[in-house]
Amino acid sequence: MNLNWYNKSVKQTVDELSVDMKKGLSGEEAESRIQKYGHNELKEKAKETMLQKIIKQLKDFLVIILIVASIVSGLVGEISDSIVIIAIVIINAVLGVLQEGKAEKALEALKKMSAPNARVYRNGHIEIIPAKNLVPGDVVLLEAGDSIPADLRLFESINLKVEEASLTGESVPVDKHAEEVFESDMPIGDRVNMAYMSTIVTYGRGKGIVINTGANTEIGKIAEAIQSFEDEVTPLQLKLNELGKWLGIACLVICALVFAIGFLRDGHLLEMFLISVSLAVAAIPEGLPAVVTIVLALGMKRMVQRNAIVRKLLAVETLGCVTVICSDKTGTLTQNEMTVVKTYTGRTAYRVSGQGYNPAGEFAVQDSKIDPMQDNNLKLLLASGVLCNDSTLEQKSEEENIWGIVGDPTEGSLMVAGAKAGMEKVAMNEAYDRVAELPFDSTRKMMTTFHKDYLPGKIISFTKGAPDIILSRCSKVYLNGRIEPLTDEIRKEITGVNSAFAGEALRVLAFTYREYDKLPAGIDSDSIENELVFIGLMGMIDPARVEASDAIKVCKGAGIKPVMITGDHKDTAVAIARDLGLMSEGAGVMTGADLDKLSDEDLRVQAEQVSVYARVSPEHKVRIVEALRQNGHIAAMTGDGVNDAMALKRSDIGVSMGITGTDVAKGTADIILMDDNFATIVAAVEEGRIIYSNIRKFVYFLLSCNIAEIFIIFISLLLNMPVPLIPIQLLWLNLVSDSFPALALGTEKGEPDIMKMKPRNAKEPILNRQLITGILTLSIAQTIAVLIAFVWSLNTHGGDLLYARTMAFTTLTVVELIMAFSCRSERLPLLKLGVFSNRSLIWASMTSFALMLAVIYLPFLQPIFKTVSLGWMEWGTIISLAAIPLIAGELYKAVARRAEARA
């Protein structure tokens, strides 16, 4: 189908689509066209099957190593080892699939919250049908408040205004003119004879012919473009893959080395092979994939409690390393609720407090509060704004005190300003009945309504509109209850105030009135909208969210650069950015026109200095995000509109709004904010940092345990000693004794200054120099403690290997459980954290300890794990030796803190 419908006249459109504008399509014809064009729904990317989801979970390098270890264990006859390893692999995969499945279900629930309908002509009657059943050629009726259900070529527009913020980013509604026919290509925002799917009618009424549905609509094309982008690997995935490969290589090298040493010392081939398998089991932290999955799942659960749905398990962590947040302005940083903030009347400027559609606020001159009902000038100005108005103010939720507007947002702001002074629309209309009107149109840029009884025995007309046009039609001014001549001096003052308001990025309307003894016989603009009495000005803006300002402060404190990317005007964007504190000293501003002049390389350079991008298109947003990423940034993109979706996909992490967000944006995002609150982003960033910090803590703990196991076996072989630990004991330590404390470390609360630290380098491995040094310190300390216990037991029990191995196994278990408390922080001492402040770790340690006692003392388990019962003397030795790694860990942290302070 030809896409340039805005170049065609209404007649051409009607002829091409074979439609009767008065009767619409017949039911049979509509059904036939559904068969031809399909339903009016966006195509979704094919969902992963259960098998694909499981395979994705099993692709992890560590998991692959575990599977190989399981197979090898089975081949050499260690069936129990093989079964336990494969069990942990299956548990890990199931957990990952279940958690991501929950996120998908939550998203599906969001999509079903509001199934749109459409009013159409069918079979000569007006019918309300599901929007998905619309077809090209359907005649759709539009009125204020309607969401446009498909792409339409308008053929009737009566004062029709459409808010296209979700598509273009422009928050001010666009005037539509069905009679227009364009000769050349026009950008979406200028196609005034068209109406597009997902945009909203804010004023007037109209009719249009459906010209495109589903994937052929403008948002459908965007959705298709989004699906062409492949999902990218997150930083945590890269880190875990890197860690897995490192462990795998280390495992192979150590196993080969041990096998070679043992064989050259006349060791038996099978015995050396079994010892090598033992080392492989010791080298790989089998519990790591499961613990990572569980910790991320717990993070997802906490995010839901903080009003965020995480669609991808690893996305939580990615937020923790973002260095820049690119945010749309309308509805994300602002309230998407036009608000009157300044008025001018009686030669006095007033400040209006209160934000959004909540009718709570005050009026003040400088710092002095005033009562609008006691100020004749202000009272008349507010009355004109309420009466010359077609919008409605409604309380959506009494409990939560949430208000909304039906109609034009600009008119809605006038309604709210009046309500703050006690002038309610219903009461005002009943008291001062509207008897006639001249509707607004974009040619006159004015609107006039006539009311009776506002002045006793008189008819009064209120006219509002663009200040320059209104002022040119005024000959008088209302001052302190009297009508005075509009002198050049006063006219100049009004013009100056208007310029000052506009300079603050306010949208300004002027208000006037005129008196009549009776309703004029001929009501037309030339006779009515002249010789007007000037009342005053109202300046309004879509205000910044209060919580967004605080969130931006926290972001900056955390070393994260906030960037505004909007389709709105430059002055408006800058005003909001300054109000939020988003623009730092010397920060740059760039428009879409400026962007078009820059090469990708030049944009990369400029992007580091720019904090505000205005009048940009969806393609510009993608270029900006990619430029930032090429500069090494981890970029998050927040937004709610269709126009945000491609940039959401290209960013490292996309964050969509759950209430105002379009389905396209929600389906593309990694995280969905259920409360549309920008401040939730800060909570998500903090949560991501906590999760990564906790992952490092349990990697610190698990690897120190595993490397200690390697050292114990390796050194015993070098010293020609018996192996202190057998494979089943190593497996028990790795999967049971270690996993519970590791999981508890994953629930650790964030350290107090976590949001005052700079974002970590996304390329820095989990095992950086600091962590490796700490792991080696603890591993050596554990090795010393266990080998002392093993040798002591051999000497005191006449070389009883079974007893000595039980002693080594028990000592290592106790050492690891006590050492877990030191691993709660890489920097802070245990006493400062509080020994008992992590209750999960206490319960986990008690559980692991109880299970260890079962393995040692229960007769039916002793043959399986090759253990014997220990006496009180042995326990005294074990507890004494367990203090060695704890002291070593605390001393290492003290040295590290001093080194950090000197740096």
Percent of the chain with pLDDT over 70: 87
Tokens of 707: 């490397």
Summarize pLDDT for 104-155 with one digit per residue, the tens. 554 455 444 434 788 999 988 888 898 889 999 999 999 877 889 999 999 9
Q: Which long-range contacts (CB under 8 A, 24 or more apart) does 31-34 make?
A: 33/135, 33/136, 33/137, 34/133, 34/135
Backbone angles phi, psi at 829, to 5 degrees: -70, 155
Local confidence band at 531 (pLDDT 50, 70, 90 cut-offs): very high
Tracing tokens 């008025």 back to the chain, one arrives at 343
Gap between the Cα atoms of 544 and 332, Å rounded: 9
- Token digits of residue 8: 């065609």
Beta-carbon contacts of 59 under 8 Å, excluding residues fewer than 6 positions away, are none
Banded pLDDT at 266 (limits 50, 70, 90) = low
Model confidence over 229-248: pLDDT tens digits?
Answer: 555 555 566 666 677 677 76
Whether 675 sits among the annotated catalytic residues: the reply is no
Q: Specify the pLDDT at position 650.
A: 85
Q: Which residues contact 495 (CB under 8 A, 6 or more apart)?
A: 467, 471
At 106 the pLDDT is: 47
**Cα gap 844→741, rounded to integer Å:** 5
- Say whether pLDDT at 533 is over 50: yes
Structure tokens at 198: 């997902």
Q: Which of 328, 542, 663, 738 is catalytic?
A: 328
Cα dihedral 135, 141, 144, 149 in deg (nearest 10): 0
Using N-to-C axis directions, what is the helix angle for 679-718 and 288-305, rounded to 10°?
160
For 575, phi then psi, to 5°, come to: -60, -45
E strands, 131-212, where? 139-143, 151-163, 174-175, 194-195, 200-212
Bridge partners of 485, per DSSP, are: 476
- List the beta bridge partners of residue 156: 207
Report pLDDT for 194.
Answer: 94
Query: In angstroms, rounded to a whole number, what is the distance separating the alpha carbons of residues 832 and 817?
Result: 19
Residue 782, SS3?
helix
Q: What is the pLDDT of residue 115?
A: 46
Beta strands (DSSP E) in 490-560 are 507-516, 532-541
Q: Is the pLDDT of residue 740 over 90?
A: no
Give me the residues paired with residue 512 across strands: 463, 534
Quote the pLDDT of residue 399: 74
If we measure between CA atoms, which residue out of 488, 486, 467 comes closest to residue 477? Answer: 486
Are the CB atoms for 359 and 420 separated by under 8 Å?
yes
Q: Which of 196, 252, 202 shows the shortest CA–CA distance to 219? A: 196
Judged against a pLDDT cut of 70, whether residue 572 lies above it is answered with: yes
Write down how long the chain is: 903
Q: Strand (E) positions, 39-116? A: none
Rounded CA-CA distance 125/27 in Å is 11
- Kindly report the three-state secondary structure assignment for every residue of 860-873: CCHHHHCCCCCCHH
Percent of the chain with pLDDT over 90: 37
| Most confident of the following: 97-111, 190-204, 378-392, 667-681 | 378-392
Average pLDDT over residues 808-815: 95
Contact 449, 461 (CB under 8 A): yes
Which range has highest mean pLDDT (517-526, 690-699, 705-714, 879-888)?
879-888
Top-confidence range, 250-264, 287-301, 785-799: 785-799
| Strand-pair category, 635-639 with 653-657 | parallel
Paired residues of 339 in beta bridges:
541
pLDDT number for residue 270: 60
So what's the pLDDT on residue 110? 41
CA distance 494 to 483: 16
- In this prediction, residues 596-623 reach a mean pLDDT of 90
Residue 647: which H helix or E strand, with range?
helix 645-650
Q: What is the DSSP letter of 748?
A: P
Q: Which residues in 399-412 are b (16+ Cβ under 10 Å) and which e?
A: eeeebebebbbbbb
CA distance 849 to 182: 79
201 band by pLDDT with thresholds 50, 70 and 90: confident
pLDDT digits (tens, 9 = 90+) for 396-431: 777 767 788 877 888 999 999 999 999 998 899 999
837: DSSP letter: S
Task: Flag whether pLDDT at 171 surpasses 50.
Answer: yes
- Identify residue 506 by its one-letter amino acid code: L
Task: Note the pLDDT of residue 310.
Answer: 80
Q: How many CA atoms lie within 13 A of 483 on its CB side?
A: 11
pLDDT of residue 211 exceeding 90: yes
pLDDT of residue 762: 74
Phi, psi of 403 (to 5 degrees): -120, 155
Instruction: Decide if pLDDT at 537 tops 50.
Output: yes
Would you state the torsion angle of the CA atoms of residues 785, 787, 790, 794, taken in this order, to the nearest 10 degrees? -130
Q: What is the pLDDT of residue 643?
A: 62
Whole-number mean pLDDT of the chain? 84
Residue 534 to residue 482: CA distance in whole angstroms? 11
What are 63-113's pLDDT values in tens digits?
676 677 678 767 767 676 677 667 767 766 776 676 566 545 544 554 444
Give me the helix-helix angle, 801-822 and 769-796, nearest 10°.
150
Break the chain down into helix, strand, coil percent, rounded to 5: 50, 20, 30
Cα dihedral 186→191→193→199 (10° resolution): 150
**Rounded distance between C-alpha atoms, residue 244 and residue 480, angstroms:** 80
Pairing status of strand 459-465 against strand 474-479? unpaired
**Which comes out higher in pLDDT, residue 267 or 870?**
870
DSSP symbols for 545-614 = PHHHHHHHHHHHHTT-EEEEE-SS-HHHHHHHHHHHT-SPTT-EEEEHHHHHTS-HHHHHHHHTTEEEEE
Mean pLDDT of 219-224: 74
For residue 500, what pLDDT is reported?
A: 93
- Range scoring the smallest mean pLDDT among 82-86, 391-395, 476-480: 82-86
Could you write out the three-class secondary structure of 395-462?
EEECCCCEEEEECCHHHHHHHHHHHHCCCCHHHHHHHCCEEEEEEEECCCCEEEEEEECCCCCCEEEE
Helix pair angle (679-718, 801-822), 10° resolution: 150
In degrees, to the nearest 5, what angle opens at C-alpha 40 toward C-alphas 37 and 43?
Answer: 90
Which among 743, 544, 631, 599 has a CA at the least distance from the CA of 88? 743
* Predicted confidence band of residue 43 (pLDDT cuts 50, 70, 90): low
